């Protein structure tokens, strides 16, 4: 990329625009030896804007005050120059076709950074089809989680399932307010169940079951009396929560990354900018539940694969299978159903 002094170019961009149009290469304008702006092909800027627009958040740098160019099209050889309202950005047109754009270095750096982020998740239609076929051949990790969907829907064996990436299971259990002695003793779920049957107690609905599968810590518990705190400091790298309230037919899903809620759908104008859950009854097989620009749009592909696999007909089980495919979630089926998983009661207060 060639450097040209701004003072040499500002009066007449004809030669520079012609070079960009012919070669597609950028030209950097400098002032006092410092890069200030870049002249680039309009097609290249369009591509940057396309991908950068797929990344949410961030404030686009504003161009500083320009040279005070006159209003209206400014002939520059075979081109017309249109100076934007900020006086710094410019658009160059030949025969009613945009051929080049001038943008500040700061704005271009911002666009390129967001474009790199967006491209990491981009696949061409051909690659996406091949990836979809590859995923279709992959089974769940371990037992997966779809197997528990039917009983979870009836609040059995737990009303809440939580999956956390990062912290160890015992650390999470302690942070949630589980009894340290129960954790140290290695209390098992079947022991609590047997004691309930023997002594007429009801501790099974008040314990926190926990374990680790495929790099995730999982928790299972009933949330009838807010016995557990449900908070971590610092938050987990990733956290998925599934909660069932059968009496109200409310089945919720939420996903956080580093404590930041990943809103599952775009916000309409005037609506609240944060929502804390997605209701699974909103999911209809055959329809993409998350808009393309939503943070959770990547789940659409995995849900479609689950639908094509035909392992389940129940909507919630299908959604669970989509989650297990997307995140590699798993729960030990035999261990949970037989009660051979660790658990702890709430810490004594």
How confident is the model over 154-213, as pLDDT tens digits? Answer: 999 999 999 999 899 999 999 999 999 999 999 999 999 999 999 998 889 899 999 999
Least confident interval from 50-54, 144-148, 269-273, 318-322: 269-273
Which has the minimum average pLDDT: 61-65, 156-160, 213-217? Answer: 61-65
- Per-residue b or e along 269-299, where b marks 16 or more CB atoms closer than 10 Å to that residue's CB: eeeeeeeebbebeebeeeeebbeeebbbbeb
DSSP H or E run through 185: helix 180-185
| Tens-place pLDDT, residues 333-342 | 999 999 999 9
Percent of the chain at pLDDT exceeding 90: 51
> Do 219 and 189 meet the contact criterion of CB atoms below 8 Å apart?
no
Q: Which of 1-15, 219-233, 290-304, 305-319 has the highest mean pLDDT?
A: 305-319
pLDDT for residue 266: 44
The token duo for 306 is 């689950």
Compute, in degrees rounded to 10, the torsion defined by CA atoms 272, 277, 283, 289.
60
pLDDT at residue 146 in the model: 96
Rounded to whole angstroms, the Cα distance separating 341 from 335 reads 6
Closest by CA to 296, choosing from 265, 327, 258, 274, is: 265
Per-chain mean pLDDT for the chain: 86
Buried b or exposed e, range 314-330, using 16+ CB within 10 angstroms: ebbbbbbbbbbbbbbbb
β-pairing, 34-41 vs 27-31, is antiparallel
What pLDDT was estimated at residue 329? 94
pLDDT band at 227, cuts 50/70/90?
confident
pLDDT given for residue 69 in this prediction: 63
- Most confident region among 199-203, 278-282, 328-332 by mean pLDDT: 328-332
**pLDDT of res. 135:** 62
Positive or negative, the Cα torsion across 169, 171, 177, 182?
positive
């Amino acid at each position: 990329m060639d450097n040209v002094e701004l003072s040499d170019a500002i009066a007449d961009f004809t030669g520079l625009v012609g070079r960009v149009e012919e070669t597609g290469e950028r030209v950097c304008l400098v002032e006092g030896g410092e890069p200030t702006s870049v002249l680039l092909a309009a097609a290249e800027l369009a591509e940057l804007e396309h991908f950068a627009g797929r990344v949410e958040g961030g404030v686009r740098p504003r161009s500083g005050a320009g040279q005070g160019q006159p209003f209206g099209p400014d002939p520059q050889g075979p081109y017309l120059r249109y100076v934007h309202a900020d006086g710094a950005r410019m658009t160059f047109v030949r025969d009613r076709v945009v051929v080049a754009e001038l943008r500040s270095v700061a704005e271009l750096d911002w666009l390129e950074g967001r474009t790199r982020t967006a491209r990491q998740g981009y696949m061409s239609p051909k690659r996406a089809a091949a990836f979809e076929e590859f995923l279709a051949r992959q089974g769940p990790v371990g037992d997966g989680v779809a197997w528990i969907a039917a009983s979870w829907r009836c609040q059995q064996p737990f009303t809440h399932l939580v999956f956390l990436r990062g912290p160890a299971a015992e650390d999470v259990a302690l942070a949630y307010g589980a009894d340290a002695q129960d954790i140290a003793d290695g209390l098992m779920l079947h022991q609590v169940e047997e004691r309930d049957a023997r002594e007429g107690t009801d501790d099974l609905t008040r314990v926190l079951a926990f374990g680790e599968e495929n790099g995730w810590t999982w928790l299972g518990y009933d949330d009838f009396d807010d016995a557990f705190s449900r908070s971590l400091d610092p938050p987990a790298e990733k956290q998925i929560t599934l909660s069932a309230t059968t009496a109200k037919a409310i089945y919720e899903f939420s996903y956080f990354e580093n404590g930041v809620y990943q809103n599952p759908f775009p916000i309409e104008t005037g609506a609240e900018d944060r929502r804390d859950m997605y209701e699974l009854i909103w999911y209809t097989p055959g329809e993409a539940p998350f808009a393309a620009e939503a943070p959770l749009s990547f789940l659409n592909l995995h849900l479609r694969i689950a639908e094509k696999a035909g392992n389940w007909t129940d909507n919630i089980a299908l959604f669970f299978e989509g989650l297990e495919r997307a995140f590699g979630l798993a729960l030990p089926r035999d261990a949970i159903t037989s009660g051979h998983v660790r658990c702890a009661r709430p810490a004594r207060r």
